[in-house]
């Protein structure tokens, strides 16, 4: 059941042409965080470099914040780019679930209680991570990042 709900959540997000995840996650600040995830020795170092990048490029906002959280997890876990690739999608689906799930708690045919929504959200995060990990390759370079993002987004809305 979470798989079909996850697909519907991603389909709805992808339906927003201006702010689809495929478009938002392909931006330079996310690609920079991906790069830093592979080269930083510690989370504080990664955060300093990422923040410097954001300031010098006058970048910021929701997507930069999602990337920052994913970057911190990736570097703290010591798995670099691979973990970042999974965590950026987990962070993104967390955002969509936090935005949309409160409206579907408690009614007939809906998520019965808040703790169930938390469990459902974690299922969504796991599905997103797996989709990213199944498409990630160690040879993935910055220039390939937008294609990778599109591939993962397409997988998340299909029955793959």
Q: What's 107's DSSP letter?
A: S
Among 76, 90, 5, CA closest to 41: 76
Q: Residues of the chain with pLDDT > 90: what percent?
A: 58
pLDDT digits (tens, 9 = 90+) for 39-64: 999 999 999 999 999 999 999 899 99
Are 135 and 151 within 8 A, CB to CB? yes
What are the residue ranges spanned by the domains of the chain?
2-157
Q: What angle do CA 82, 79, 137 make, to 5 degrees?
A: 25
Q: Residues of the chain with pLDDT > 70: what percent?
A: 87
Taking the model in full, what pTM does it have? 0.88
Q: If DSSP states are collapsed to H, E and C, what string results for 76-102?
A: HHCCHHHHHHHHHHHHHHHHHHHHHHH
pLDDT digits (tens, 9 = 90+) for 78-130: 889 999 999 999 999 998 888 765 544 444 455 555 566 677 888 999 999 99
């Amino acid at each position: 059941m979470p798989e079909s709900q996850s697909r519907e959540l991603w389909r709805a997000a992808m339906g927003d042409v201006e702010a689809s995840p495929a478009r938002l996650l392909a931006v330079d600040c996310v690609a920079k965080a991906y790069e830093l995830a592979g080269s930083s020795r510690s989370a504080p170092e990664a955060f300093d470099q990422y923040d410097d990048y954001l300031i010098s490029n006058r970048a910021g906002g929701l997507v930069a914040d999602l990337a920052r959280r994913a970057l911190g997890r990736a570097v703290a876990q010591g798995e670099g780019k691979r973990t970042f690739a999974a965590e950026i999608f987990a962070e993104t689906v967390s955002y969509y679930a936090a935005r949309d799930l409160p409206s579907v708690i408690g009614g007939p045919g809906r998520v019965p209680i808040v703790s169930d929504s938390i469990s459902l959200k974690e299922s969504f995060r796991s599905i997103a991570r797996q989709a990213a990990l199944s498409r990630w390759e160690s040879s993935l370079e910055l220039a390939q990042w937008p294609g990778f993002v599109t591939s993962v987004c397409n997988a998340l809305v299909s029955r793959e």
